[in-house]
């Protein structure tokens, strides 16, 4: 499959190429790692202006370059231009705690898990559902990513809580802070905020 851009001198606009074509081209150079697919979806979404992650997916420039070279060698993505996001300062303080939480629960199977700790924590700073902020294509993509990379943590979400709510709740519980206003979820007026549809 010839690349729709990147290796050509004048790549066409991503939207004109289409999401599936870009995704197919990127995946044609994949290296067979478990997170290739999820990372390709995030990168393609960014090219199309979707998701809320900053350029580099929240990683350092070196880590971002390493990620692309490892998972999609030879696929030279066009520069992604988007203004840097403005994060809520309080949430920014919790980013390192989220990274630590995710790192503690890494499956230990693949190098990319540590990058995904940072990427997922960065997505938690934005305002939509986590799978949307990450530029994934469905909630299922995110559930699979969590189960694959952070299995013990994902298994704790056995009632299918919204992922962002679930992760922040883990932080609260680690700190011994319980913000829930009801004795149980079943009688809580915030139930829909925690467990409602993420589609």
Residues that bind ligand SF4 (CB under 6 A): 169, 180, 182, 185, 188, 190-191, 194
Shortest distance in whole angstroms from residue 142 CB to ligand SF4: 19
Q: Are 90 and 127 in contact (CB under 8 A)?
A: no
Q: How far apart are CA 74 and CA 80, in angstroms?
A: 17
Q: What is the C-alpha to C-alpha distance for residues 57 and 63, in angstroms, rounded to an integer?
A: 10
Nearest residue (CB) to ligand SF4, 115 versus 166: 166
Of 111 and 193, CB closest to ligand SF4? 193
Least distance to ligand SF4, CB of residue 194, Å: 3
| Residue number, 67 or 124, with CB nearest to ligand SF4 | 124
Name the burial class of residue 30, with classes exposed (0-12), middle (13-18) and buried (19+) by CB atoms within 10 angstroms of its CB: middle
The one-character DSSP state at 105 is T
Shortest Å distance, C-beta 71 to ligand SF4: 35
User: In terms of CB distance, is 50 or 190 closer to ligand SF4?
Assistant: 190
Tokens read off for 76: 């030279």
């Amino acid at each position: 499959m010839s690349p729709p851009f990147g290796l050509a001198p004048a790549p066409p606009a991503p939207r004109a190429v289409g999401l599936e074509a870009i995704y197919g081209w990127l995946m044609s150079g994949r290296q067979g790692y478990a997170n290739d697919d999820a990372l390709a979806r995030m990168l393609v979404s960014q090219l199309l202006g979707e998701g809320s992650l900053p350029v580099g997916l929240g990683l350092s420039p070196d880590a971002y370059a390493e990620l692309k070279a490892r998972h999609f060698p030879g696929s030279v993505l066009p520069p992604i231009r988007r203004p840097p996001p403005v994060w809520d300062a309080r949430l920014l303080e919790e980013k390192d705690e989220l990274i630590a939480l995710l790192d503690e629960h890494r499956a230990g199977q693949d190098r990319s898990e540590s990058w995904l700790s940072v990427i997922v924590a960065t997505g938690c700073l934005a305002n939509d559902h986590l799978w949307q902020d990450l530029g994934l294509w469905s909630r299922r993509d995110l559930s699979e990513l969590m189960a694959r990379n952070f299995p013990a943590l994902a298994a704790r979400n056995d009632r299918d809580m919204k992922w962002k709510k679930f992760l922040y709740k883990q932080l609260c519980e680690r700190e011994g802070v319980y913000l829930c206003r009801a004795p149980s979820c079943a009688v809580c007026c915030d139930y829909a905020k925690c467990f409602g549809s993420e589609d």
